[in-house]
């Protein structure tokens, strides 16, 4: 199954998503070749000691979005892994942020390395965080 077919099957509920998704209440919202969107509605169970959503939630959502954007471009039997992930936290996230959406898109994909970027926005389209990632493409 191609990466696009696999991710589409997750989005459609035909196969389960990654286990981390259930911990964070995260779901695949949309998939197309080179772009994937994850959504979640964070609550207080994801707060850090200072009363905001832990930065790891934003990082996980963005890592998932950018890496899966790369996955969506890969043929059957070709894998990938994150080599580098950079996150910029711009605004605090709380339960009042409502549904947050992480959109990842491929910037450049080659036979060995792929580059992707992402944005995390709240339900009012306010930018919360950005990401850039490098993925290693693993040929069979």
The CATH number linked to 56 is: 3.10.129.10
Provide the pLDDT for residue 14: 97
Distance CA 69, CA 135 (A): 10
Distance CA 115, CA 91 (A): 24
Provide the pLDDT for residue 70: 98
pLDDT tens sequence across 9-64: 999 999 999 999 999 999 999 999 999 999 999 999 999 999 999 999 999 999 99
Distance CA 70, CA 107 (A): 9
Distance CA 56, CA 58 (A): 5
**pLDDT tier at 65 (50, 70, 90 boundaries)?**
very high
Provide the pLDDT for residue 46: 96
**pLDDT tier at 132 (50, 70, 90 boundaries)?**
very high
Provide the pLDDT for residue 54: 97
How far from the centroid of its chain's Cα atoms is residue 50's Cα? 25
Please report where in the chains the tokens 């409502």 appear, as a residue.
98
pLDDT tens sequence across 101-127: 999 999 999 999 999 999 999 999 999
**Length of the chain in terms of residues written:** 140
Provide the pLDDT for residue 28: 97
Binning the chain into helix, strand and coil, the percentages to the nearest 5 are 25, 40, 35
- 32: containing domain: 3-138
Total count of domains within the chain: 1
């Amino acid at each position: 199954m191609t990466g696009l077919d696999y991710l589409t099957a997750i989005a459609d509920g035909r196969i389960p998503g990654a286990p981390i998704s259930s911990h964070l209440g995260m779901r695949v919202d949309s998939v197309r070749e080179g772009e994937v969107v994850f959504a979640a509605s964070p609550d207080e169970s994801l707060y850090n000691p200072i009363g905001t959503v832990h930065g790891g939630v934003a990082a996980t959502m963005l890592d998932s979005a950018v890496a899966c954007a790369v996955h969506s471009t890969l043929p059957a039997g070709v894998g990938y892994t994150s080599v580098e992930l950079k996150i910029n936290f711009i605004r605090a996230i709380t339960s009042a942020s409502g549904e947050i959406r992480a959109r990842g898109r491929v910037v450049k994909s080659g036979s060995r390395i792929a580059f992707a970027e992402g944005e995390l926005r709240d339900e009012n389209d306010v930018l919360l965080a950005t990401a850039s990632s490098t993925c290693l493409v693993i040929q069979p």
